Amino acid sequence: MTEAGRPTILVVDDNHDNAEIIRQYLEAHGYPISVAYDGDEALTQFELVRPSLVLLDVMMPGRDGWEVCRIMKQHPLLGQTVRIVMVTALDEWSDKRQALQTGADDYVEKPVDLPKLVKTVERNVAMLRPQP
C-alpha cells in the first residue's frame, strides 16, 4: 500500500499502446501503476514492486498469462495475498474453469471497457486482506 492507501497495480500487456491507455486511466483514478510488457518482465516486477493487484493479459509471446498467473500464485511470499485479474475474453464454461485452475480471481473482457475495468479493480481491491 502507498501513503495514499491505494494499492499498487501491475499492468501486464505486450501491446504498449494498450498498457499505456490502461496505465493512464488507472493513474487518473489514483492508483500507482507499474507496467510490464512480457511474462518474464512481469515476474521480475512482481517481486520488486510487490503489487496488490495484477492485470494480466493472456495472449503474450513467450510465457502466456496463464503461466505467469500460476507462477505468481505459487510465490512463497506474495502468492497468498495478490489478486490476479485476467484480461481476456472467457466465453466458454471451460475457459473459466481453466482460469480457476490457474488461481485467477477475476477477469475483464477484451477489448477493455475502461469504466468497467475500474469497477473490476475496485471490487478486487475491496477483497484485499488488510496489510500488517
| Alpha helix stretches (DSSP H) within 50-127 | 65-73, 93-102, 114-125
Closest approach of another protein to the CB of residue 50, in Å: 13
Closest approach of another protein to the CB of residue 124, in Å: 7
Compute, in degrees rounded to 10, the torsion defined by CA atoms 127, 82, 103, 99: 80
114: helix, coil or strand?
Answer: helix
Residues that bind another protein (CB under 8 A): 16-17, 20, 37, 40-41, 43-45, 47-48, 71, 74-76, 79, 90, 92-94, 96-101, 104-107, 120, 123-124, 127
Burial of 58 (0-12, 13-18, 19+ CB in 10 A): buried
Closest approach of another protein to the CB of residue 115, in Å: 17
Query: Which residue, 64 or 79, has its beta carbon nearer to another protein?
Result: 79
Closest approach of another protein to the CB of residue 1, in Å: 18
Query: Which residue, 5 or 17, has its beta carbon nearer to another protein?
Result: 17
Query: Which residue, 59 or 74, has its beta carbon nearer to another protein?
Result: 74
Query: Which residue, 106 or 114, has its beta carbon nearer to another protein?
Result: 106
Closest approach of another protein to the CB of residue 21, in Å: 11
The pair phi, psi for residue 41, each rounded to 5°, is -65, -40
| Alpha helix stretches (DSSP H) within the chain | 16-28, 39-49, 65-73, 93-102, 114-125
Task: Give the cell for residue 12.
Answer: 501486464
The pair phi, psi for residue 94, each rounded to 5°, is -65, -35
Query: Which residue, 1 or 122, has its beta carbon nearer to another protein?
Result: 122
